[in-house]
Every structure is written in C-alpha cells, then in structure tokens.
Amino acid sequence: MQISVKVAKAIERRRVFVVDDNESFRAAIEFMLHDEYEAHEFASASATLAKAEQIRPDLLVLAEGVIRVNGLDLIQEFLARVPETKIIVIVDQISSGFGQDCVAEGAHGFLAKPLKIELLRDKVDALLSARKKSGPIPRAVLNLR
C-alpha cells in the first residue's frame, strides 16, 4: 500500500494548540498557522490539558489572560504533563515584564500584542525546527537577553 504525498505530509505536520478565552484572537492565530501546522483552538486551560494528554502538541501558544486566571504555575503543569511541548506566551504589553516571568517559569519565549504574522511564524518555526534538530534557538527569536 502506498501513502500519498498529501497524507505523508499531513503525518509530518507539527501540532500547535492555541489557548485563549478570546474566540476571535484564537481564530486569528490558528489562521496564521494552519497552512504549515495542525492547529487546534481551546478556550480554557483545563480543556487544553485534557486534550494534550490524548494528542500531544508540539507547541502551546498561551494567552496572558489564560495564565493570569490559572496562575503562573500553569506553565509548569503543562510541562509536567507534556514535557516535550514548547510554550510561547502572548502578552498584552512587553513592558509589563510578564513575558519574562513566564520564561522564568519554563515558557520557551513570548510575543507581545499586536501580533505580526512574520514574528509569530518565525518564533513558531524556530521552536519547532529546533525541536526537530535539537539545536540552540536564537536568543533574538525568543526575546531573551
């Protein structure tokens, strides 16, 4: 039996979970990523955790609001349950320092609103290709200094 190129490509696609209580924002991020990644939207951390244990994501895109509602330890909880998953946090303002707090808790990077498609794609691509190759992730892409 021969697998078609389309099916083989779908099998190789990386899985991204987008978690935000704002439906429009979730849909926008999912739309930005859907052409290259298998993207799924979730409105809550609990729904995401349950699904993550069933179909393990390669990447979580977490909104600041979801983390604030559930606490910073949400990042550690995700990493404990699905340790191979990378996490990007979308913060409301870069100047708040919340992104750095999330990185200190184990997130792999952050982006600030308003999101630019190129920056989001660059960060996602860097994290997921780094996972594949196990090489270092450029500090500029991860907002680390």
Domain 12-137 has CATH 3.40.50.2300: yes
Cα dist. 135→89, 108, 129, 130, 138 in Å? 21, 14, 9, 5, 9
Task: Split the chain (145 residues) into runs of 10 and give each run's mean pLDDT.
Answer: 44 86 93 92 95 94 96 96 95 94 97 92 88 49 53
Domain boundaries along the sequence of the chain:
12-137
pLDDT at 2: 46
What global pTM score does this model have? 0.80
